[in-house]
């Protein structure tokens, strides 16, 4: 992977982001073996999905989980009806973060980032096992 340090990307609170074979590392973020493995898992996912479909799926799954998080927040605030309205369905900062952690690609990467041999025996499309 090609490493590029950036002042602006990835956006906070993230410290690193794989864009294809390029690893964007926010200034001030330490490059560790765990972080490199996490992003290498994303690069493998990206290659096996032929790049563009990976990013389409990633964003689509994040949007679905984000809508789910907003819906649940709205339901927890209203006891009479479980339907978000314009006034109560505001996006709390944690909703986007929780949605990110529920993406199947992220679930696989976080689950396996500590295993130094994972990429050598990783099954094809292993992220599917992390779909909920």
Q: What is the pLDDT of residues 68-120, one digit of tens each?
A: 988 877 776 665 556 555 554 455 568 899 999 999 999 999 999 999 999 99
Candidates 50, 25, 45, 17; CA nearest to 122 is 45
How many domains is the chain built from?
1
Q: Which helix (H) or strand (E) is 18 found in, with range?
A: strand 16-19
SS3 109: helix
Candidates 19, 14, 99, 21; CA nearest to 60 is 99
8 A C-beta contact, residue 40 and residue 116: no
Token pair recorded at residue 58: 């990633």
Q: How many Å apart are CA 95 and CA 132, to the nearest integer?
A: 17
* In the predicted structure, residue 123 carries a pLDDT above the cut 80: yes
Question: Domain span at residue 77?
Answer: 2-130
Residue 33: pLDDT band by 50, 70, 90 thresholds? very high
Q: Given this model, what pLDDT does residue 92 score? A: 59
* In the predicted structure, residue 64 carries a pLDDT above the cut 90: yes
């Amino acid at each position: 992977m090609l490493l590029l340090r950036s002042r602006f990307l990835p956006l906070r609170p993230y410290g690193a982001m794989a864009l294809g074979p390029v690893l964007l590392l926010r200034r001030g973020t330490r490059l560790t073996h765990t972080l490199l493995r996490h992003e290498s898992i994303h690069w493998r996912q990206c290659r096996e999905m032929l790049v563009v479909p990976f990013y389409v799926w990633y964003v689509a799954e994040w949007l679905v989980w984000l809508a789910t998080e907003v819906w649940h927040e709205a339901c927890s605030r209203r006891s009479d009806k479980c339907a978000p309205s314009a006034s109560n369905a505001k996006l709390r900062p944690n909703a986007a973060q929780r949605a990110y952690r529920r993406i199947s690609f992220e679930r696989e990467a976080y689950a396996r980032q500590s295993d130094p041999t994972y990429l050598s025996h990783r099954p094809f499309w292993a992220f599917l096992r992390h779909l909920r």
